[in-house]
Structure 1
């Protein structure tokens, strides 16, 4: 249980560093470390599938893309837009909504001797595969066809037309 609290402390620390760091590249790197601590939490909570998806998709793809875009933008102090008071108020409202969601989630959790109780087999990949390929086979296959169509469309849109001489 002490590992959980240590990783939780690291998650909160690196999330705060993400918010309060002035350099956007450092902020993205702190966010990558925060996602890594989330992966450790998923492993500790016996949710291997979520851990792998978080590691591959969020840390491996999306955050590298964010870092690449930030490096290409070459942000300077002069080009940074001034944030209006409306944006700050909306951010405060969003933070309060998130706090209310957390409080509601903590209220319905069942805790027994310091441990969250529940089914131990919920996050296993084997059980997810059984449900995905038995009960939800048609929606799974339809979503794969939709993703394939989107990928082919993106390739056709990005392809440059050759001018024949």
Structure 2
């Protein structure tokens, strides 16, 4: 039964991922991306990673997609305003995508697992308290750097969007 659910979720994830990239309408692409994020959360649930599943739904399917949809609606994209792509740029994009796929395939084939055997320590690594403890003890400096970076980006966005008064 679990295998059937996995294959269904995998088909939904791959199908909506392809539809996200191949769809001509950006709003449809965003909807396909939301469905893809929910199916990835289903994979997290199958792995018993409840915290990751909830964070994926809240952060990606919630906040980022809302931001993306607002941006798409504000930009008012239509095919009339978009210039036609040259053949050389299409060929370059295809070649670079194929090279990137080749690099990813080579990396997957050459990778080996770091941990060969697992030890049972008795700690529940899925709990929020353990995740918070690790985040604020072992990774405190990168966590603070990320907070400062997000604060600087927010201040920059406010300053850019602020209209200057013509005197």
> What interval of TM-score do these two structures reach, taking the shorter chain for normalisation?
0.7 to 0.9
Structure 1 stretches lacking a partner, 5+ long: 111-116
For residues 152 and 26 of structure 2, what CA distance do their matches in structure 1 show? 35
Which residue number corresponds to residue 26 of structure 2? 24
Pair 1:98-2:101 in alignment: no
Q: Which fold has the larger relative contact order, with Cα–Cα distance below 8 Å and residues 6 or more apart in sequence?
A: 1
For residues 21 and 156 of structure 2, what CA distance do their matches in structure 1 show? 36
Normalising by structure 1, what TM-score? 0.72
For residues 49 and 119 of structure 2, what CA distance do their matches in structure 1 show? 13
Which residue number corresponds to residue 126 of structure 1? 129
Pair 1:50-2:52 in alignment: yes
Cα 1:47–1:145 change in 2 (3 A) is same
Which residue number corresponds to residue 87 of structure 1? 93
TM alignment of 1:1-165, pairs within 5 A: 1=2, 2-71=4-73, 72-76=75-79, 79-82=82-85, 83-104=89-110, 108=113, 121-162=124-165
Cα 1:5–1:160 change in 2 (3 A) is same
For residues 136 and 28 of structure 2, what CA distance do their matches in structure 1 show? 41
Cα 1:104–1:68 change in 2 (3 A) is farther
Structure 2 stretches lacking a partner, 5+ long: none
Superposed CA offset, 1:32-81 (max 9, x none): 11111111111221223322332222222222333333333322167243
For residues 90 and 133 of structure 2, what CA distance do their matches in structure 1 show? 50
Superposed CA offset, 1:83-137 (max 9, x none): 52111111111222233344455x6499xxxxxx887944443321121122233
Taking only aligned residues, the RMSD between alpha carbons, in angstroms, comes to 3.2
